[in-house]
């Protein structure tokens, strides 16, 4: 099923407006029975002893507010909970006001105000599996010695981050379930974007024939462009073992820890040459700014807050960049040091799908489906849980989606595959199934499911995570089949598939194995033929743009148009299902012209079903005569099983 837009539902069936109205009518403060201020909401083990005291904001600070002078990265400081993955995502969120307004809807209406009766109830929204979930909480927060234990703002009377964290804990079942999570999941939860995790070392060593500096610059430009398009970005230094988690390095950075990226830019070294700078080209330094969710422990290497390198930058530019020497957890790093220390970067892209936008627009298609055995044996008709390409006998049983790339489109397609959270709101966290995707180029006219895998043009990483992402670039024009899979056969779960592209690709779920035939289309085809148009040449060559058309009964399919040439090559495939044993096809050569295309000649192909593949040269005859004017080379395969290919 394809959907557009995003739905919204109430978590635990709690309606914020109704609950607030009831509290105001009773002149009482809301206490959330679905997430009570007890050990049940804090720990997995509810019998655990605890001296934590739950307090409302006005009991913690005078004159409490949701926001004080808007939102900034310093508003989100991590407490004693090991949830830097979530805190960093919230810190990154502060750089996108529109998205923050979706996560905290009607913030002004929720704010403390003397003209509104206070009810102690708040609501926040998180994005899950194609819909925004509204989570209601009370304002009772965990404290010790009168101070907040978990997320908090550096401004003592600002509480949006602490309340948002509580709503997130409710979604995950309890606070303890927030310890150690995936950066990409948190970014997706607060944005509805498409999250991708980039392994820095893998990216920089991607192509053997390119230098590290080539990829270094490409990665910098990728992040810079993404940040400018409002992407949420978080970087981390992976820990190799449990002992390394949150271990401080000599350079001030912390292992097993996540940092929000708050700026990616070039810095002009406009003060480097003093009064002689007018006679030299201004050097530029690639820089990145990060925020430690602890609110302290900053980078102390080159270009740290008070290092001598900043003397190369003029005062005007430093003021514009907001350079300070405060120990606030936010710091600049030179790009070369960043890629030397950080191992993973999670980028959450927010694709603009608005029809009325002046900025670059993406077309989005969304499918909800499932991997299921449908109660049949592995590989039997109806099985839709075939596993990855390693399991060749059942691979093609998986759900399949076709999409098209037209000439001139640029061949860019982004695909995000997300599996459904099994136990949303429960303390029991079921492990994710390992998932991934394959993309295969198929026959230009394919309208039915494939039954034999072809070599993929692209394969995503396989991961036991909520989402995997595949960014396809420079795809050749033609038709493709996208196959989302679990790693192993017979693993069953629901998934959501999102396809984005700057151009229409018309994704469609392939449901049928073969077409119906006959007068009333009441019977299946009995055989299948695959024809590949290889090349063509004329006896008396002349330069022209050309394409071929393959005619089978009432069906016509064509190749792409070539550039001007004297001989033409395509290597494009077409598939035909028939009931007749003897099959006749006509292959036509056309000249592509500006006003009206011209038929140059045609060749006839008579094929018998021989369950084999062969290459044949066909005589090309002039239109309207039997004069031989050239040759067309085709490859043909015919099979008596309509679901062979």
* Other beta carbons within 10 Å of 13: 8
Non-local CB neighbours of 467 within 8 Å, separated by 6+ positions: 184, 185, 188, 194, 195, 416, 417, 418, 419
Mark 400-434 as b/e (b = at least 16 C-beta within 10 Å).
bbbbbbeeebebbbbbbbbbbbeeeeebeeeebbb
Instruction: Report the Cα–Cα distance between both ends of the chain, in Å, rounded.
Output: 26
Catalytic residues: 84, 257, 292
As a whole number of angstroms, the distance between CA 336 and CA 511 comes to 50
d(CA 516, CA 525): 6
Cα distances (angstroms) measured from residue 546 to each of 152, 539, 549, 574, 633: 67, 15, 10, 18, 15
Q: Which two tokens stand for residue 68?
A: 């004080």
Helix (H, G, I), strand (E, B) or coil at 164: helix
CB burial string 249-275: b at 16+ within 10 A, e below: eebebbbbbbbbbbbbbebbbbbbeee
What are the residues whose beta carbons fall under 8 Å from the beta carbon of 36, sequence distance 6 or more?
none
Contact yes or no for 484/433 (Cβ under 8 A): no
Whether the Cβ atoms of residue 347 and residue 410 lie closer than 8 Å to each other: no
- Phi first, then psi, for residue 346 (nearest 5°) are -100, 120
Three-state SS for 331?
strand
CA dist., res. 355 & res. 350, Å (int): 15
Q: Return the ∠ at Cα 108 (arms to 161 and 27), rounded to 5°.
A: 90
Q: In whole angstroms, give the CA distance from residue 291 to residue 88.
A: 8
Structure token pair of residue 600 = 């140059």
Helix axes 84-93, 160-171, angle to 10 degrees: 130
Q: How far is CA 606 from CA 144, 581, 582, 615, 638, in A?
A: 85, 11, 7, 13, 11
- Residue 105's CB: how many other CB atoms inside 10 A? 15
Residues 6+ apart with CB under 8 A from 205: 212, 215
Q: What is the chain's length?
A: 645
Closest-CA residue to 269 (of 309, 228, 328, 214): 309
Q: Are 497 and 470 in contact (CB under 8 A)?
A: no
Q: What share of the chain is helix, strand, coil (3-state, %, to 5)?
A: 20, 35, 45
Q: Are 290 and 235 in contact (CB under 8 A)?
A: yes
Beta strands (DSSP E) in 372-428 are 400-405, 413-419
């Amino acid at each position: 099923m394809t959907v557009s837009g995003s739905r919204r539902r109430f978590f635990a069936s709690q309606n914020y407006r109704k609950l607030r109205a009831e509290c105001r009518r009773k002149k009482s403060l809301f206490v959330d029975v679905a997430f009570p201020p007890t050990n049940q909401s804090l720990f997995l083990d509810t019998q655990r002893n605890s001296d934590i005291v739950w307090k409302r904001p006005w009991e913690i600070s005078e004159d409490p507010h949701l926001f004080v002078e808007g939102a900034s990265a310093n508003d989100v400081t991590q407490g004693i909970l090991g949830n830097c993955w979530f805190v960093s995502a919230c810190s990154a969120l502060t750089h996108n006001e529109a998205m923050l307004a979706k996560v905290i809807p009607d913030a002004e209406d929720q704010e403390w105000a003397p003209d509104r009766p206070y009810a102690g109830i708040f609501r926040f929204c998180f994005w899950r599996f194609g819909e925004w979930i509204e989570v209601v909480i009370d304002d009772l927060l965990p404290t010790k010695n009168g101070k907040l234990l978990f997320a908090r703002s550096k401004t003592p009377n600002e509480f949006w981050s602490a309340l948002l964290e509580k709503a997130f804990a409710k979604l995950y079942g309890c606070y303890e379930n927030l310890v150690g999570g995936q950066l990409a999941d948190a970014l997706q939860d607060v944005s509805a974007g498409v999250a991708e995790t980039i392994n820095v070392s893998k990216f920089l060593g991607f192509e053997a024939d390119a230098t590290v500096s080539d990829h270094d610059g490409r990665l910098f430009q990728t992040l810079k462009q993404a940040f400018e398009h409002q992407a949420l970005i978080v970087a981390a230094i992976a820990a190799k073992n449990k002992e390394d988690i949150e271990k401080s390095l000599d350079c001030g950075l912390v292992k097993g820890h996540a940092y929000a990226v708050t700026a990616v830019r070039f810095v002009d070294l406009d003060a480097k040459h003093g009064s002689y700078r007018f006679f030299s080209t201004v050097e530029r330094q690639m820089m990145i700014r990060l925020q430690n969710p602890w609110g302290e422990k900053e980078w102390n290497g080159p270009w740290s807050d008070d290092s001598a390198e900043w003397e190369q930058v003029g005062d005007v530019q430093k003021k514009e960049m907001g350079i300070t020497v405060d120990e606030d957890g936010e710091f600049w790093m030179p790009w070369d040091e960043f890629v030397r220390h950080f191992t993973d970067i999670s980028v959450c892209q927010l694709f603009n799908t608005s029809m009325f936008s002046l900025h670059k627009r993406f077309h989005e298609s969304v499918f909800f489906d499932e991997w299921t055995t449908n109660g049949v044996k592995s590989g039997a008709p109806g099985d839709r849980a075939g596993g990855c390409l390693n399991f060749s006998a059942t691979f093609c049983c998986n759900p399949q989606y076709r999409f098209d790339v037209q000439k001139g489109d640029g061949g860019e397609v982004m695909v995000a595959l997300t599996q459904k959270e099994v136990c949303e709101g429960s303390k029991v966290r079921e492990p994710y199934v390992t998932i991934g995707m394959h993309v295969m180029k198929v026959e230009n006219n394919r309208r039915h499911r494939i039954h034999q895998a072809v070599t993929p043009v692209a394969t995503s990483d396989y991961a036991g995570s909520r989402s995997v992402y595949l960014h396809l670039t420079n795809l050749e024009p033609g038709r493709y089949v996208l196959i989302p899979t679990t790693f192993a056969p017979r693993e069953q779960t629901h998934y959501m598939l999102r396809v984005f592209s700057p151009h229409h690709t018309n994704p469609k779920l392939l449901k049928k194995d073969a077409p119906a035939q006959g007068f009333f289309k009441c019977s299946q085809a009995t055989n299948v033929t695959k024809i590949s148009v290889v090349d063509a040449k004329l006896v008396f060559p002349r330069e022209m743009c050309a394409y071929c058309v393959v005619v089978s009964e009432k069906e016509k399919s064509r190749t792409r148009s070539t550039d001007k040439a004297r001989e033409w090559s395509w290597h494009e495939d077409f598939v035909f299902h028939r009931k007749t044993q003897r099959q006749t096809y006509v292959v036509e050569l056309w000249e592509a012209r500006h006003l009206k295309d011209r038929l140059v000649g045609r060749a006839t192909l008579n094929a018998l079903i021989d369950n084999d593949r062969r290459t044949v040269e066909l005589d090309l005859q002039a239109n309207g005569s039997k004069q031989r004017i050239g040759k067309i080379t085709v490859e043909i395969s015919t099979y008596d099983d309509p679901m062979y290919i």
